């Protein structure tokens, strides 16, 4: 990317083009990651404390809709803390 041994890299437009492409792709990934982390955080709150969940979501999601869309039926209490250290 430094362009020290490529003649076409002397063009400032091309350098800025590559920089903008890299920034846009990283920004899109970061937004995608934040969206999914938000959903995972809301899942934890939904299981642990529904009052805080409703406060943070401003009651945007109905309980049944959120559960049907994001919570899997086979792993209902996936976020419970296991204190007996069976897996360790």
Domain assignment present for 88? no
Domain assignment present for 78? no
Domains in the chain, number = 1
CA angle 46, 78, 72 (to 5 degrees): 75
Domain range for 43 is: 7-70
Say how far apart CA 45 and CA 39 lie, in whole Å.
10
Domain assignment present for 16? yes
Expressed in percent and rounded to 5, the helix, strand and coil fractions of the chain are 65, 0, 35
Domain assignment present for 82? no
Backbone dihedral angles phi then psi of residue 69, each to the nearest 5 degrees: -85, -40
Domain assignment present for 13? yes
Q: What is the pLDDT along the chain (88 residues), one digit of tens a residue?
A: 555 666 766 778 888 998 999 999 999 999 999 999 999 999 999 889 888 988 888 888 888 888 888 887 655 555 554 555 555 4
Contacts of 2 (CB under 8 A, 6+ apart): 9
């Amino acid at each position: 990317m430094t362009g020290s041994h490529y003649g076409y890299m002397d063009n400032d437009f091309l350098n800025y083009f590559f920089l903008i492409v890299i920034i846009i792709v990283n920004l899109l990934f970061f937004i995608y990651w934040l969206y999914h982390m938000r959903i995972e955080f809301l899942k934890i709150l939904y299981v642990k404390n529904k009052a805080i969940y409703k406060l943070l979501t401003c009651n945007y999601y109905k309980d049944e809709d959120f559960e049907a869309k994001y919570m899997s039926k086979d792993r209902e209490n996936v976020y419970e803390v296991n204190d007996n250290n069976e897996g360790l």
